[in-house]
Amino acid sequence: MTYASVLPPGSTPLEKALEQVTAFLLDLPVDMRKLWSPMECPAAHLPWLAWGLSVDIWDADWPEAVKRAAVADAIGFHRRKGTAASLRTVLDRFDPLIRIVEWFEDRDTLDPYMFRLELPLSVDSPVIYDEALVAQILRDIAAVKPVRARMVAVHKLRADAEAWLTSGALAGGISRMDAAADLHSATDPVWGTYLQTANGEPIISALGAFLEV
């Protein structure tokens, strides 16, 4: 169907084509306002709305409520992007217990503008930090961190065995059985195996994977 044009005679073929497409879209039996609403947009269209609003971080496995919240916060997030607040927003989607340690909080081990992520003990958090999850955290943080900030490591402590004390009243007195926790520091990402920038940060491909040597 061809719609009557309101463009001047000297309009280019591209302008005329865009006018026809726009007129066609306006005739669709769809409430365009709902398509642009984070709360009313059909769930199947949320990825397209996120793309239209330049949402940097998106996971198809997120619950619908998280997806809608990410879209609703798109403009505000871009205003905060590159700040510590944006890092906090991203980390909270994984685990609110992840701690950010900035260089001025640990001057002995961190150079200016460096920061470190510290993951919680497994006994404190229900999140299981496997290799895939840690890689995802690193990719998402790299996408929103301040440009001048350098992420040097992810420290991870896990308790493979919980410590407990068992006391019992026996005929001969009090007996206590101890089981010491087996705490160890998991291997940090092996930065030496990744291609790195001049600042020593791993390079991420367009597909979101770390480029290895």
Is residue 35's pLDDT more than 60?
A: yes
Handedness of CA 110, 115, 120, 121 (dihedral sign): negative
Tell me if 141 sits within 8 A of 83, measured CB to CB.
no
Per-residue confidence (pLDDT) for residue 140, from 0 to 100:
87
Residue 130: closest CA among 99, 104, 154? 154
The letter for the amino acid at 65 is: A
Average pLDDT over residues 168-197: 39
What does DSSP say about strands 183-185 and 173-179: parallel, antiparallel, or unpaired? unpaired
pTM of the predicted protein model: 0.55
Is residue 27's pLDDT more than 80?
A: no
